[in-house]
Amino acid sequence: MTKICYLMRHGQTVCNQEKRFYGSLESPLTDKGCSQAKRMAQLIEAHEVEHVYVSQLSRSQETARLVFPNRSFTVLPGLNEKKFGLWEGKTADEIEQAFPEEWKQWLEAPLCYTPPEAEPFSQFKERVQACMQSILATPAQSLAIVAHLGVLRVIYQAFVDSSKDFWDIDIPQGQVLSMRLDKDSSWKILFLK
């Protein structure tokens, strides 16, 4: 049985543009972000998608509405971006100034150190993986996930290549990554062109 999962990162937001940590904060798409979503719509239009899943955050829902107009989608909190606690809404320079010791600790071990009032990476990873397992257990043979870079990195690392460094996984805004589960139970990936 073949299953295809299209991974899409939400379009550029105001916080992306300003290089802010924003995790669970809301931030609207920029004009560029809307254009990126429309590009993804063109990339995906020739492919059948039975079901669309999005996070609770408006940027992923806004992107999904532009990619899949006139379609409903399922909102799953398990697809939400990692919460960065007291660092949300701040740039790296602002974080370093307000939390110098914590910033240093995070730079030394970003997947182990938890910023103040943030979601621990291990819990974030478990949440995303459990959500993805439940999505894959559905009968849909072709589905799309519109989410966040951290979420998509966890999915890629868990289901495609566990040896790939988390920070080296790049799923650019405006691109669609196709994951195909082949008969040998391995995931094959490619960016749609």
Q: Measuring CA to CA, how many Å separate 29 from each of 17, 73, 83, 161?
A: 10, 19, 19, 30
Nearest 5°: the CA angle 81, 82, 86 is: 120
Print pLDDT tens along the chain (193 aa): 689 999 999 999 999 999 999 999 999 999 999 999 999 999 999 999 999 999 999 999 999 999 999 999 999 999 999 999 999 999 999 999 999 999 999 999 999 999 999 999 999 999 999 999 999 999 999 999 999 999 999 999 999 999 999 999 999 999 999 999 887 778 888 898 7
As a whole-number percent, the residues of the chain with pLDDT over 70 amount to 99
pLDDT at 181: 87
The pLDDT value given to residue 1: 61
Contact 173, 12 (CB under 8 A): yes
Give the CA distances from residue 38 to residues 8, 11, 27, 33, 56, in Å, rounded to whole numbers and listed in that order: 12, 9, 18, 9, 20
pLDDT at 32: 98
pTM of the shown model: 0.95
* Phi, psi of 167, rounded to the nearest 5 degrees: -75, -15
CA dihedral 68, 71, 76, 79 (to 10 degrees): -10
Rg (alpha carbons) of the chain, rounded to whole number: 17
Question: For residues 29 and 10, is the Cβ–Cβ distance under 8 A?
Answer: yes
Q: How far apart are the first and last CA of the chain?
A: 25
The CA-CA-CA angle for residues 130, 64, 53, to 5°, reads: 20
